[in-house]
């Protein structure tokens, strides 16, 4: 019998009816003899309702008080789910973040988990209780309530699974697994029976928003087997694990990820001298703007062009910062473009398979799609293209790498 | 400069607008240099909303989970009020019951406070923070969330005032003080500038529901000066204190209390023998039915009649229990009447003034009001009369004891 941590998000617990469904599912696992810890989010809409109340009072409330306020949302769900389990004759007890105790740093609204006290939970599990934990929250060493930021419930689940040395951490969502690409774009998109943490990270960061990145990183670091499942439909979902060397053959490419949410900024005619990248990106970082792709070309005439992408919503702010930088470092000019998209092929298998890049570029060339920027990592190749070609690019790559076909070694899964 | 604990109930914090009004009031006290601890209830309607959610899941949810659920209501208010204070440049920090920490026993939904840790609060007060505490809740020694029962926020405020040795505990309500009787019944009803704890207890238990009885008991026990004030209108309210022997003259009667919420049960022809009162009231107590007035007449023919009153809503249940008892002890029969009312004159002064009872009975007789039961304590005389005479009785007593007139020693207050 296994110890399983299960996480249900806001939509899955969005009404009493949905909470009853979750209780039914959990009761089933319990009846099979598994030990269960359930992590829940606030009922969908509740967090937004609370935030709206806060904003009626103050535009920028103190972060400490925001955490006190919104952490109540998950607590409500834990109590209701525990009741629904008790009703089914399943012993259950709810815990909020400070009761567990999930110790975090004191960075309110975006705290990081430091330590989890598992003694109390183990005692309850040993007595046959299902433990229902409020996701997304913790407590700092001074006893202040903290929250982990939106979507932090995934992180709570993984952290609990790591602390309890659970056999599996199951994330219930509104999709039945991780796909080779977005099924809305490619008809032949196929659910993966498994994927590695690294691949999942690359897929997730590209907008396949099935899981929170932090949760996947955490799971990878502590080697917690993570499974993505549908909260209502039955099915095996997708298991995210460390790379399994024993496998006969690793498929070259796991999937095609893409992201329309980026914009491109170029600062042209930058004097080619040491420290210039820092002088450009330092102020951007200080302004709390996250940068994704960064490309610097080789210099011509002692100047170079420096290009990077940011989230579209931050383009205006980034441009403002960059214009100031440009005049300080005597760059020629700043240009921007928000009609771009990023497309990536992701797969740990590409490490040992030459020619993935050339196959990718060939497929795009065949469709007449111009590549504006290229960036590569060990398990990913990303290109920036004009946004209007996005669907075409994804479909042609999906087909070029034959992702619609089940690989041989997946049949066992 | 004083240390003041202020409590605002659900209606006073029922909307963002009302919360802003409370913040304004608290900020005023802070500007005057006082140290302030504010205790708040859930926004009106919120507790009922949460209870309704629970009842959608289960008719009788486990008490532990009910506490986890409904304790979120007060926590939301603490955060919002802290924000509203911060907005006004007043440093404020919110605390829930387990953060304070308000240690209670483990009687979920009706826990009793055992101990309050005041170290953290004093540290914050010394730094000039207004402390906003969630009323109505605490934590047991195993870290489980508990609640004190409906209206428990008054108790939280008094307990905090006692622990912090506050100069005054102010309870803000929708009335501007304690009156000699209900102004809706007697036009000349007058606000008392002060009243003793004992008188307040007798007034409160009779349905003058300004304050929770437990809170008054607590305040009396720890000699916390308690003041009842209007949450919006300015005014001195009513100060509830220990008896002040230095006063020139204590007014004989503080007020006229009444209660329409009782019903009367009589068990007739009870064999007059030792232990019979216990055999009757034991089963009633076991059924968790609270008894108020109890009267046993002297025996005739070796049997006696035994009469007591209960809350009207429990009459049916009490009758059922009593019928069983009657057949067990060979009593003749059980009768009941729910068309009754209780009227009391209350005052510590009656201890030293003879003739209060006779003056009361004379006033009632003059109006032709028949007295069904009489019960007396050191500072109270209560009679049970037919319900239809209630208003007439209250008015005639108010006038007979000249309560509309300001007593001499009240001018100073």
Give the three-class secondary structure for A36: strand
CA proximity to B75, closest of A70, A275, A412, A214: A70
| Residue scoring higher pLDDT (B208 or A239) | A239
Q: What is the DSSP letter of B326?
A: H
> CB of A357 within 8 Å of any CB in chain B?
no
| Contact present, A157 and A97 (Cβ < 8 Å) | no
Which residue in A111, A130, A135, A112 sits closest to A42, CA to CA?
A: A135
Q: Which of A276-285, B22-31, B187-196 has the lowest mean pLDDT?
A: A276-285
With an 8 Å Cβ cutoff, is A410 touching chain B?
no
- Integer Cα distance of B340 and B293 in angstroms: 12
pLDDT band at B151 (very low <50, low <70, confident <90, very high): low
The C-alpha angle A366, A367, A373, rounded to 5 degrees, equals 90
In A357-411, which ranges are E strands?
A: 371-377, 380-386
- In chain A, which residue's Cα lies nearest the Cα of B50? A76
Q: How many CB atoms lie within 10 A of CB B285?
A: 12
- Listed in sequence order, the residues at least 6 apart from A51 whose beta carbon sits closer than 8 Å to its beta carbon are A66, A69, A70
pTM for this entry? 0.79
Strands A226-230 and A168-173: parallel
Shortest CA gap B213–chain A (Å): 29
Q: Point out the residues of chain A with pLDDT beneath 50.
A: 207, 248, 410-413
Which single residue is written with the structure tokens 């904003």?
A: A55
> Which of B76, B138, B146 is the best substitution to test chain A (most A C-beta atoms within 10 A)?
B76
How far is Cα A94 from Cα B131, in angstroms, rounded to an integer? 28
Confidence of residue B412 (pLDDT cuts 50, 70, 90): very low
Top pLDDT among A81 and B252 is at: A81
CA B170 to chain centre: 15
Query: Which member of A20, A78, A83 has the closest CB to residue B54?
Result: A83
Q: Supply the pLDDT for residue B320.
A: 94
Band of pLDDT at residue B411, cut at 50, 70 and 90:
very low
Planar angle of CA A298, A303, A307, nearest 5 degrees:
60
Both structure tokens of A258: 């893409």
pLDDT number for residue B372: 87
Q: A264-337: which CATH number, 3.30.1010.10, 3.30.1490.20, 3.40.140.10, 3.30.2130.10?
A: 3.30.2130.10
What backbone phi and psi angles, to 5 degrees, belong to B359? -65, -40
CATH topology for the B3-173 domain: Carbamate kinase (3.40.1160)
Mean pLDDT of chain B: 89
Report long-range pairs for A189-192 (Cβ below 8 Å, ≥24 apart). A189/A398, A189/A403, A189/A404, A190/A403, A190/A404, A190/A405, A190/A406, A191/A238, A192/A238, A192/A254, A192/A255, A192/A410
Q: What is the pLDDT of residues B347-404, one digit of tens each?
A: 887 877 777 888 898 899 999 998 888 888 878 888 999 999 999 999 999 999 999 9
Query: Residue B49: closest CA among chain A residues belongs to which residue?
Result: A76
Least Cα separation, residue A210 to chain B (angstroms): 29
Res B184: pLDDT: 87
Name the residue among B332, B356, B362 with its Cα closest to residue B255: B356
Q: pLDDT digits over A253-275, tens only?
A: 889 999 888 999 999 888 887 77
**Rounded-to-integer distance, Cα B7 and Cα B74, Å:** 12
- Among chain A residues, CA nearest to B80: A54
Q: Mean pLDDT, to the nearest integer, of B268-274? A: 84
Minimal-distance CA residue of chain A relative to B87: A58
Closest Cα of chain B to A12: distance in Å? 16
Residue of A73, A201, A225 whose CA lies nearest to A136:
A73
Cα B111 to Cα A152: distance, rounded to the nearest angstrom: 33
Contacts of A143 in chain B (CB under 8 A): 99, 120
Query: From the CA of A15, how many Å to the nearest CA of chain B?
Result: 9
Helices A213-221, A152-163: inter-axial angle, 10-degree rounding: 10
Distance spanning both ends of chain B, measured CA to CA? 20
State the span(s) of chain A assigned CATH 3.30.2130.10. 264-337, 340-401
d(CA B198, CA B242): 8
Fold adopted by A340-401: VC0802-like (3.30.2130)
Instruction: Tell me where in chain A the CATH 3.40.1160.10 domain(s) lie.
Output: 3-173
The b/e string for B288-302 (b: 16+ C-beta within 10 A; e otherwise) is ebebbbebeeeeeee
Confidence of residue B250 (pLDDT cuts 50, 70, 90): low
Q: Could B53 and A94 be called an inter-chain contact, meaning their C-beta atoms sit closer than 8 Å?
A: no
Highest mean pLDDT among A250-259, A317-326, B275-284, B301-310: A317-326
Range with top average pLDDT, A27-31, B210-214, B273-277: A27-31
A63 touches chain B (CB under 8 A): no
Residue A41's Cβ-side half-sphere holds a number of Cα atoms within 13 Å equal to 27
ipTM associated with this complex: 0.75
What pairing do the DSSP bridges indicate for beta strands B3-8 and A3-8? unpaired
- Of B166, B37, B40, B136, nearest to B93 (Cα)? B37
Q: Give dist(CA A12, CA A19) in Å, integer.
A: 7
């Amino acid at each position: 019998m296994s110890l399983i941590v299960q996480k249900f998000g806001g939509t899955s617990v969005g009404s009493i009816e949905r909470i009853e469904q979750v209780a039914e599912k959990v009761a089933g696992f319990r009846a099979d003899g598994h030990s269960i810890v359930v992590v829940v989010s606030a009922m969908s809409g509740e967090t937004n309702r609370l935030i709206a109340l806060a904003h009626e009072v103050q535009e920028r409330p103190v972060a400490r008080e925001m955490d006190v306020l919104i952490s109540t949302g998950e607590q409500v769900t834990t109590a209701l789910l525990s009741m629904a389990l008790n009703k089914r004759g399943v012993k259950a007890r709810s815990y909020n973040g400070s009761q567990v105790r999930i110790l975090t740093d004191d960075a309110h609204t975006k705290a990081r988990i430091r330590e989890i006290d598992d003694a109390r939970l183990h005692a309850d599990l040993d007595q046959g209780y299902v433990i229902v934990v409020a996701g997304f929250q913790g407590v700092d060493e001074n006893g202040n309530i903290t929250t982990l930021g939106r979507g932090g419930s995934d992180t709570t689940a993984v952290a609990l699974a790591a602390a309890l040395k659970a056999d599996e951490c199951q994330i219930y969502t509104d999709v039945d697994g991780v796909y080779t690409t977005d099924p809305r774009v490619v008809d032949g998109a196929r659910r993966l029976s498994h994927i590695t943490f690294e691949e999942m990270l690359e897929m997730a960061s590209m907008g396949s928003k099935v899981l929170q990145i932090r949760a996947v990183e955490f799971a990878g670091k502590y080697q917690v087997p993570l499974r993505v499942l549908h909260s209502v439909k039955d099915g095996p979902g997708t298991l995210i694990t460390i790379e399994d060397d024993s496998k006969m053959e690793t498929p070259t490419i796991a999937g095609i990820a893409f992201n329309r949410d980026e914009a491109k900024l170029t600062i042209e005619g930058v004097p080619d001298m040491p420290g210039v990248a820092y002088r450009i990106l330092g102020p951007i970082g200080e302004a709390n703007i996250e940068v994704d792709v960064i490309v610097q070309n080789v210099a011509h005439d002692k100047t170079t062009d420096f290009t990077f992408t940011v989230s579209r919503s931050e383009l205006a702010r980034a441009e403002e910062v960059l214009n100031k930088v440009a005049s300080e470092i005597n760059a020629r000019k700043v240009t921007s473009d928000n009609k771009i998209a990023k497309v990536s092929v992701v797969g740990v298998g590409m490490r040992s398979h030459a020619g993935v890049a050339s196959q990718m570029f060939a497929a795009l060339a065949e469709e007449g799609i111009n590549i504006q920027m290229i960036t590569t990592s060990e398990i990913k190749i990303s290109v920036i293209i004009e946004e209007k070609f996005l669907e075409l690019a994804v479909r042609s790559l999906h087909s070029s790498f034959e992702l619609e076909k089940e690989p041989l070694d997946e049949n066992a899964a």
